[in-house]
Amino acid sequence: MRMNRVLALLSTLALLLGACAPVAAPAATESAAPTEAAAEAPAPEGGAIKVGLMAPLTGGAAFLGNEQQGFAQVTVDIFNERTGLNVQLVAEDTELNPDTAKIVAERLAADPEIVVVVGPAGSQECESTKPVFAAAGLAHLTQSCTRTDLTAPENATPTFFRPIPRDADQSATDAAYMLETLQVTSAYLVDDQSSYAVGLCDEIQAALEAGGVTVERASVTQDDTDFSSLVTAIVAANPDVVFFPGQIGSQLSTLVIQLREQGYAGVYFLADAGFSPDVVSAGGDALDGTYVSVFSPDPKQVPQAAEYITRYAEQFNPDFGAFGGAAALTTFVALDAIERCSAEGTITRACVVEKLQSTDLAETPLGIPISFDENNQVQGSRFFLFQIEGGEFTLLQ
């Protein structure tokens, strides 16, 4: 009898120690099924409801990530005040690095109190983290991953949601403007070797060449700080337009400054990261006349964003671009799912996934209605086109 009691005690201690041990995120493929325990684990009764945020909070893209974090926090604050719930934002730095993002995703997935994640921010990061979240049954909504094939039927996962448009929408917008309005006959496309920039340049190239435009290509790395040799090649080619969908703000301003210094007088055309006061400030007069296409409207021009803008400006920074508004939108959609789960009595990962799939929002912080198709891609979205004039962004379409 004494031996039986000892064995029982040792067995109990082993179970307790196992429960306290760190949980490693399971290896997964895109089609991996969510683990039942992870998907069904409820948020603590009466306690905090944790929402993860993945963004580049340090490094060359920190100017975007910090803006995303601030607007996400403001959105959570407004939600808590309205609903009386206690949502806490758990922000993690991914450095815009897919390997770092995967480690962060594994850490978030291993925390059973995290019921949904906003992020990651870069398409290369979304590619690396989708299998991790799918295996954990943990929904994640990207605030800025636009690579087209992320929500293609063959790549779709039940836990990845995109409430923003795709590169296919951006390439159509940009190419049509270059062909029909600017009437370019030659173009030079520069990518930074990220899956986002390469994919977008591929789509732009196909559309331009279909329109009879001569296209040349070049690549840089996200660590490059001097583009002198590239600029020499571009100036020699003398294209009508230079298109650079880079993700590092300092590179966008450096390239245009060096282009203008070497006498290039053609059109400079940027993608999403170009919509930033930091980029405009660094580029100065060299950026005047530059075109920028963005997956999100300028929140300053959206009446529904007024409270979010006011709070962000007071708490964080009065200067911001379009990435913060998209983060507010994405966080708002995630919180709506949490609220509907709360109304049914239990907030679990599985419930959040289910509610996201049935999302049907007529009003959001950006005034954009949100619902998802069968691949969890937002329906009816479009890109916005701006031109930099006197240091300000003027909406063209």
Please choose, from the candidates 80, 71, 54, the residue with its C-alpha nearest in 3D space to the C-alpha of residue 324: 71
Gyration radius from the chain CA atoms? 23
| 377, two tokens | 């891609």
Give pLDDT, residue 382. 86
What's the pLDDT tens digit per position in 217-247?
999 999 999 999 999 999 999 999 999 999 9
DSSP string of 249-299, one letter each residue = HHHHHHHHHHHHHTT--SEEEE-GGG--HHHHHHHGGGGTT-EEEESS--G
What's the pLDDT tens digit per position in 159-171?
999 999 999 999 9
What angle, rounded to 10 degrees, do the helices at 123-136 and 195-210 form? 120
Percent of the chain's residues with pLDDT above 70: 88
Give pLDDT, residue 291. 98
Check if the beta carbon of residue 216 is closer than 8 Å to that of residue 238. Answer: no
Check if the beta carbon of residue 346 is closer than 8 Å to that of residue 42. Answer: yes
| 342, two tokens | 């709360």
What's the pLDDT tens digit per position in 276-304?
999 999 999 999 999 999 999 999 999 99
Please choose, from the candidates 291, 324, 300, 305, the residue with its C-alpha nearest in 3D space to the C-alpha of residue 396: 291
What's the pLDDT tens digit per position in 241-269?
999 999 999 999 999 999 999 999 999 99
Lowest-confidence segment of 30-39, 74-83, 108-117, 118-127 by average pLDDT:
30-39
Give pLDDT, residue 182. 98
Give pLDDT, residue 131. 98
167-294 and 35-165+302-371 share a CATH fold? yes
Could you give the 3-state DSSP secondary structure of residue 336? helix
What's the pLDDT tens digit per position in 299-325?
999 999 999 999 999 999 999 999 999
Residue 6 has pLDDT above 50, yes or no: no
Alpha-carbon span 378 to 383, nearest angstrom:
13
pTM for the full model? 0.83
CA atoms within 13 A on the CB side of 171: 22
Give pLDDT, residue 195. 86
Distances from the Cα of 19 to the Cα of 25, 49, 347, angstroms: 15, 21, 22
Q: Which residues of 314-329 are buried (b: 16+ CB within 10 A; e: fewer)?
A: eebeeebbbbbbbbbb
Give pLDDT, residue 17. 32
Residue 344: pLDDT band (50, 70, 90) is very high
Give pLDDT, residue 47. 77
| 263, two tokens | 């006498």
Check if the beta carbon of residue 102 is closer than 8 Å to that of residue 128. Answer: yes
Residue 201 has pLDDT above 70, yes or no: yes
Q: Hey, what CATH topology would domain 35-165+302-371 get?
A: Rossmann fold (3.40.50)
Please choose, from the candidates 140, 149, 129, 77, the residue with its C-alpha nearest in 3D space to the C-alpha of residue 328: 77
Give pLDDT, residue 381. 81
Alpha-carbon span 237 to 359, nearest angstrom:
49
Kindly report the CATH class assigned to 167-294.
Answer: alpha beta
Residue 35: pLDDT band (50, 70, 90) is very low
Mean pLDDT of 81-90: 97
| 272, two tokens | 């999403």
Check if the beta carbon of residue 294 is closer than 8 Å to that of residue 200. Answer: no
Residue 31 has pLDDT above 60, yes or no: no
Give pLDDT, residue 8. 39
What is the average pLDDT value for the chain, to the nearest integer? Answer: 90
Q: Return the domain boundaries, the chain.
A: 35-165+302-371, 167-294
Q: Which residues of 184-201 are buried (b: 16+ CB within 10 A; e: fewer)?
A: beebbbbbbebbbbbbbb
Residue 354 has pLDDT above 80, yes or no: yes
What angle, rounded to 10 degrees, do the helices at 306-315 and 62-83 form? 120
Alpha-carbon span 116 to 38, nearest angstrom:
12
Residue 46: pLDDT band (50, 70, 90) is low
